[in-house]
């Protein structure tokens, strides 16, 4: 059976020396963290879609937020002799030993959406977003939007001390640096939640003369923006025109708000980390070209002119 | 008149604390006391304090009764998440509003009865008994929402979060109504006395004919019911059920509110009005911090510092110090360690 498969594979490979043929043959193990958030669920379903599209045989393992489960999954992938392993690491440390085992078995490992503390020779590449860049894209949009007009921005930060909060703040500040008309006048944490986003926005509006002193809201994630939009509406102002709203993540609900004209822009944290990973693997398998050690995913900007209702319908099915 | 005066005197420490906290915020942020009429309701930071404090105030009502029996209910935050999820999933599956609310309250009641049964019939210590639902509750809520934030657009349900009655936001009306109702029920009947009796000595009160098991079941059920109302308010406020974050850590805020209100954690004495004022003190601090414009890294430190000061001032040791320092008492009664006013 195995011999037959091998023969078939060899024959096909000989007949069609294209990357597509390699992809059709590829068996890939995917060790996912678990289902910690809506985004994570979307990442899993997009990975499965991408694999199906390319004819990759995907073996999926859910680690339920435990590193030992991920290590077990990787070992079983090695034992099964997969062609490559995708790993979304739950923590940054403790991967050296199991990655060496994969290397000894000559199975390339690609990291998804998080980096690890290990020598980069142990994995083929890491596909992640750049959080600083995300903040910068949001800031650039605002700079372009307001032009030379003075604009006081209020900022809803993520959970204090978390890396997305620190990096998304940094990126936004880089983008508005040098534009003296744009100032961040208030900045508070909304803990990445809708409830806190709404509560903090209420206090911002009170503190800034009933919201008249606020020109734009920058939220580190869409959920806080959704909460803040309600606070703006309840204060008798129009979100999207009286106060511009820009946020990050691109979850489905923000597209509904954009379709209603209540949010202006969002920067996507794409759940499609597997697509670039499969591309890199196909190239590597075809002629051994090693990709860069870090593949940055696109931080795409969506605005009201991007047919938000259509994106909403597309995203709604992904399990966000 | 004299009853009202007596009540006021008993609540004096809490009222003074609240006044000092409000005055401090007003000093730092002059617009704090400004009230407008907007969109058919009162609008301003003070209203925000009343409104945002609603979940903790509602939880504190039930928590006060539970603590009066020398118990504690750690599950209220998780019950909020469960009931919010139930309300959202029922209303999104096109159930009528009345059915949704009734079933949501019923689920809260059932959660409370579960806690009560563990405490009253199996004699499990309250902190452990309610820990079970605290841990399991968010998982149950996740199962109901299937892991997503379940959003809804039903105007009737949203009314409980952002509607208004007589110029006050609906959540404020709810906690005031609930507070008055429960306070009247326990203080205008012997119920409050019996609950306190259980807190002082459960065995003795049972032997003297108090139906302790039934009463314990009732107080935990009341706590569950309060959590259900709080959960509905929290979900209606953001028009969605967030199983991960709804009511997160609010059980601790509710316990703090009860303690600030002067109810002893050892049971036997309670004041619902005190707990409600306690909840408002906590929320006033939260709102004040948000208005102050300090960097968010300072939030928790400022909150902790203020609460430490309040607790130190309220502590028995400093109370007896005050008594000692009062000039007219100084000669007459040298070192009688008086119990603090509660």
- Kindly report the three-state secondary structure assignment for every residue of A267-312: EECCCCCHHHHHHHHHHHHHHCCCCCCEEECCCCEEEHHHCHHHHH
Do residues A127 and A110 make contact, with C-beta atoms less than 8 angstroms apart? yes
- Beta-carbon separation of A41 and B238 below 8 A: no
Model confidence pLDDT, tens digit, residues B85-102 = 999 999 999 999 999 999
Same domain, yes or no: A118 and A169: no
pLDDT tier at A188 (50, 70, 90 boundaries)? very high
Are residues A81 and A70 part of one domain? yes
Nearest in space to B43 (alpha carbons), one of A237, A234, A228: A234
Instruction: Name the band, by pLDDT with cuts 50, 70 and 90, for residue A287.
Output: confident
pLDDT exceeds 50 at position B163? yes
Q: Which residues in A have their CB inside 8 Å of a CB on B?
A: 35, 37-38, 41, 157, 160-161, 186-189, 191, 193-195, 198-200, 202-204, 206-207, 223, 226-227, 230, 234-236, 253, 319-320
Highest mean pLDDT of the ranges A14-23, B100-109, B304-313 = B100-109
**Sign of the four-CA dihedral B172, B176, B177, B182:** positive
User: Residues of B300-326 as b/e, b for ≥16 C-beta within 10 angstroms?
Assistant: eeeeeebbeebeeebeeeebbeebeee
- The secondary structure element, H or E, covering residue B53 is none
Same domain, A32 and A100: yes
CATH of the domain at A59: 3.40.50.2300
Q: How far apart are CA B2 and CA B6, in angstroms?
A: 6
Q: Average the pLDDT over B305-329 and give the result.
A: 83
Q: What angle do CA B265, B226, B194 make, to 5 degrees?
A: 50
B40: contact with A, CB 8 A cutoff: no
Look at residue B155 and tell me whether its pLDDT is greater than 50: yes
A225 falls within a domain? yes
Q: How high is the pLDDT of residue B304? A: 93
Average pLDDT, chain A: 89
- The answer to whether position A87 is within a domain reads yes
Each residue of A71-112: pLDDT tens digit?
999 999 999 999 999 999 988 899 999 999 999 999 999 999
B168 touching A, CB under 8 A? no
Nearest CA in chain B to A184: B293
Instruction: Express as a percent the part of chain B with pLDDT over 70.
Output: 94
Q: Are residues A109 and A46 in the same domain?
A: yes
In a domain, A284, yes or no: yes
Q: What is the pLDDT of residue A275?
A: 93
Q: What is the pLDDT of residue B325?
A: 83
Residues A17 and A124 in one domain: yes
A38/B149 CB distance under 8 A? yes
* CB interface of B with A, residues 91-110, below 8 Å: none
Q: Is residue A295 part of a domain?
A: no
For residues A120 and A211, membership in a common domain is answered with no
Tokens representing B219? 């107080």
Query: Which is nearest to A133 in space by CA: A299, A3, A252?
Result: A299
Residues 6+ apart with CB under 8 A from B238: A194, A195, A198, A226, A227, A230, B161
Give pLDDT, residue B122.
96
- Helix B97-120, helix B126-145: angle, nearest 10: 150
For the segment A155-186, what is each residue's pLDDT rounded down to a tens digit? Answer: 999 998 888 999 999 999 999 999 999 999 99
Listing DSSP states for B287-320 in one string gives HHHHHHT--GGGHHHHHHHHHHHHHHHHSHHHHH
Residues in chain A within 8 Å Cβ distance of B290? 188, 199-200, 203-204, 207
**Do A114 and A19 belong to one domain?**
yes
Residue A241 has pLDDT above 60, yes or no: yes
Based on the fold, state whether residues A43 and A116 are members of the same structural domain.
Answer: yes
Asked if pLDDT for residue B138 goes beyond 70, the answer is: yes
- B139 close contact with A: CB closer than 8 A: no
- Partner residue opposite A195 with nearest CB, options B38, B162, B234: B234
3-state secondary structure of B69: coil
Interface test with A, best of B88, B296, B297, B301 (most A CBs within 10 A): B296
Residue B254 has pLDDT above 80, yes or no: yes
A106 falls within a domain: yes
Return the exposure string of A262-297: e unless at least 16 CB atoms fall within 10 Å of the residue's CB, then b: bbbbbbbbbbbbbbbbbbbbbebbbeeeebeeebeb
Tell me what pLDDT residue B148 has.
83
Give a yes or no: residue A79 inside a domain: yes
Mean pLDDT over A47-58 rounds to 93
Residues A208, A241: Cα–Cα separation, whole Å: 17
Residue A85's SS3 state is strand
One domain, residues A80 and A149: no
Which whole number is the average pLDDT over B308-328?
83
A284/A107 Cα distance (integer angstroms)? 11
- pLDDT at residue B33 is higher than 70: yes
User: If you average pLDDT over every residue of chain B, what do you get?
Assistant: 91
User: In the predicted model, what is the mean pLDDT of residues B106-111?
Assistant: 98
Residues of B in contact with A230 (CB under 8 A): 162, 238-239
Taking alpha carbons only, the member of A253, A249, A260, A256 closest to residue A301 is A249
Q: Does some domain include residue A298?
A: no
Q: pLDDT at position B340, please?
A: 53
Q: Per the structure, how many domains does chain A have?
A: 2
C-alpha B186/C-alpha B176 separation (Å) is 16
Determine the pLDDT at residue B12: 87
Find residue A265's DSSP bridge partners: A246, A303
Whether pLDDT at B331 is above 60: no
Residues A159 and A224 in one domain: yes
Cβ atoms of B25 and B294 closer than 8 Å: no
A62 and A105 co-located in one domain: yes
Joined tokens for residue B282:
């906590």
pLDDT at A24: 54
**Residue A319 placed within a domain:** no
Strand bridging mode A244-249 / A109-112: unpaired
Query: How far off is chain A from B52, nearest CA to CA, in Å?
Result: 7
The residue segments making up the domain with residue A32 are 2-129+271-289
Q: What is the pTM of this model?
A: 0.87
CB distance from B336 to chain A under 8 Å? no
Tell me, yes or no, whether A6 and A118 share the same domain: yes
- Please tell me which residue, A21 or B173, carries the higher pLDDT value: B173
Q: What is the pLDDT of residues B61-82, one digit of tens each?
A: 999 999 999 999 999 999 999 9
Spell out the domains of chain B, with CATH numbers in brackets: 42-314 (1.10.3470)
First CA to last CA distance, chain A: 41
Yes or no, beta carbons of B238 and A227 under 8 Å apart: yes
């Amino acid at each position: 059976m195995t011999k037959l498969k091998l023969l078939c594979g060899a024959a096909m490979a000989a007949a069609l020396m294209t990357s597509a043929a390699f992809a059709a043959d590829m068996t890939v193990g995917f060790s996912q963290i678990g289902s910690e958030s809506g985004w994570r669920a979307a990442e899993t379903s997009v990975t499965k879609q991408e694999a199906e599209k390319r004819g990759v045989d995907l073996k999926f393992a859910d680690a339920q937020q435990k590193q030992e489960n991920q290590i077990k999954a990787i070992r079983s992938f090695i034992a099964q002799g997969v062609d490559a392993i995708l790993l979304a690491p739950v923590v940054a440390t403790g991967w050296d030993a199991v990655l060496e085992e994969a290397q000894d078995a000559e199975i390339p490992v690609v990291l998804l959406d998080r980096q690890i503390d290990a020598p980069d020779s142990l994995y083929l590449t890491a596909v992640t977003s750049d959080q600083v860049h995300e903040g910068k894209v949001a800031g650039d949009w605002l700079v372009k939007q307001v032009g030379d007009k003075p604009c006081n921005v209020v900022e809803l930060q993520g959970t204090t001390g978390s890396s997305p909060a620190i990096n998304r703040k940094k990126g936004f500040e880089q983008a508005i640096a040098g534009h003296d008309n744009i100032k961040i006048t208030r900045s508070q944490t909304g803990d990445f939640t809708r409830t806190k986003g709404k509560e903090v926005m209420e206090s911002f509006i009170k503190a800034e003369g009933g919201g008249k002193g606020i020109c734009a809201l920058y939220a580190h994630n869409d959920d806080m923006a959704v909460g803040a939009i309600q606070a703006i509406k309840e204060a008798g102002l129009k979100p999207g025109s009286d106060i511009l709203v820009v946020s990050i993540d691109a979850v489905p609900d923000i597209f509904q708000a954009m379709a209603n004209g209540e949010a202006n822009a969002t920067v996507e944290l794409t759940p499609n980390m597997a697509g670039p990973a499969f591309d890199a693997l196909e190239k590597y398998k075809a002629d051994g070209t090693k990709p860069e050690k870090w593949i940055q995913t696109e931080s795409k900007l969506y605005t009201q002119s991007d047919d938000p209702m259509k994106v909403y319908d597309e995203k709604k099915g992904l399990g966000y | 008149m004299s009853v009202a005066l007596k009540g006021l005197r008993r609540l004096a420490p809490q009222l003074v604390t609240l006044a000092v906290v409000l005055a401090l915020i007003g000093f730092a942020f002059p617009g704090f006391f400004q009230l407008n009429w907007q969109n058919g309701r009162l609008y301003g930071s003070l209203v925000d304090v009343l409104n945002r404090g609603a979940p903790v105030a509602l939880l504190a009502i039930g928590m006060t009764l539970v603590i009066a029996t020398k118990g504690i209910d750690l599950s209220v935050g998780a019950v909020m998440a469960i009931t919010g999820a139930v309300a959202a999933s029922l209303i999104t599956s096109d159930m009528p509003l009345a059915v949704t609310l009734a079933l949501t309250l019923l689920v809260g009641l059932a959660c409370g009865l579960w806690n009560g049964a563990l405490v009253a019939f199996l004699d499990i210590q309250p902190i452990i008994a309610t820990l079970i639902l605290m841990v399991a509750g968010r998982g149950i809520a996740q199962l109901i929402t299937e892991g997503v934030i379940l959003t809804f657009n039903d105007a009737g349900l949203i009314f409980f979060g952002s509607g208004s009655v007589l110029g006050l936001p609906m959540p404020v009306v709810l906690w005031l109504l609930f507070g008055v109702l429960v306070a009247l029920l326990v203080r205008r009947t012997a119920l409050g006395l019996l609950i306190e009796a259980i807190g002082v000595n459960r065995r003795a009160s049972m032997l003297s004919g108090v139906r302790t098991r039934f009463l314990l079941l009732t107080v935990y059920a009341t706590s569950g019911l309060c959590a259900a109302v709080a959960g509905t308010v929290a979900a209606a406020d953001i028009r969605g059920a967030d199983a991960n974050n709804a009511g997160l850590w609010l059980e601790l805020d509710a316990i703090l509110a009860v303690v600030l209100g002067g109810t002893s954690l050892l049971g036997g004495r309670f004041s619902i009005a005190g707990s409600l004022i306690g909840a408002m003190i906590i929320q006033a601090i939260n709102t004040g911090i948000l208005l102050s414009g300090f960097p968010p890294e300072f939030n928790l430190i400022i909150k902790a510092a203020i609460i430490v000061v309040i607790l130190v001032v309220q502590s028995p040791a400093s109370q007896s110090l005050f008594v000692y320092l009062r000039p007219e008492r100084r000669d007459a009664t040298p070192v009688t360690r008086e119990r603090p006013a509660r």
